[in-house]
Structure 1
């Protein structure tokens, strides 16, 4: 309490005026604040890591088909889809109309770099008697991304003394966004005549499209069943 000269009354009487100071609020930083900040940072870090891991684990989808200029073995209606997850070394494929081989041969799945000819064996498998052959390969290490642009399915002798792909190429596919993808697709359909030949061409395209859709549905159902079995 003090005298305030400006507030002295004009009649000369003295008035005692109490000076009111604003309250001072001091910040209080408790352990609960520390715990809340730590939880927030942990959640943000977990969401960031989860998003990155999902992005890295996204599989690359490759359409495989019998290309007359490259394929040297197997029926022309053979086709398939391959899903390659490079960061996890996971390779899955659904292949249609692969003939069953003898005991001295096996199918092999390869990655190839067309500019250098370098190849990487992903694994070998046998065709089933059903129209669709399912391939599930899990490599012990991640697949190096070394400029691969082509996926091959070949027939290899068993045993196989040569580490390179055999000349019996069955199916060929290009990784999306690579120059080989355009090379494998002709700018126009081949001239096979008029009339019935044109109908057969579009019929084959329609059948292959339906097969690819069916393969996608089968793969989705298998993934759902696997998730259901893994759920406690």
Structure 2
């Protein structure tokens, strides 16, 4: 596999809705597993009633208030760990939820991972990993035995697409977020326009 180039933290110092589409195609690495991101959702703060950080800081959402580039993992429905990348500006909390991706393990076996619950399970992350700094490996080594990082691997991403019979990078679509009941009008779900790469429901191109 080709080498991962660490993502620069300054890229994440923007509103989550601006960061989210730029993360598509980037790679989240946990131990020997990589996940190339193909679908994400942005969540803000006071501007977003669907966000965990909409009202105030709590024990559950505290990682959303950390520096951009930290990991935010929350537990939901009594069974799923959902993985987020913290992104915000001016100390305003926010995060980008990882919804789907193309996984590859140490043996080179690939797997399409669709849905945030499956993403957390595939990467083996839990709420105990919330707060890990994805940019600074030094901090990661102090917090956990897992080496977790975020970066880019353009060659690897193109290779994974070709493995799936996809010759070129599909266009990026913006669509309403799913699984929420508030702020449903915000088109802060970003995904590649290929049904094989994203979770349901697949938005139309109209």
Question: What TM-score do the two structures reach when normalised by structure 2?
Answer: 0.30
Question: What TM-score do the two structures reach when normalised by structure 1?
Answer: 0.28
The answer to which structure, 1 or 2, has the higher relative contact order (CA under 8 A, 6+ apart) is 2
Structure with the higher fraction of residues in helix conformation: 1
Q: Which of the two has higher C-alpha Rg?
A: 1
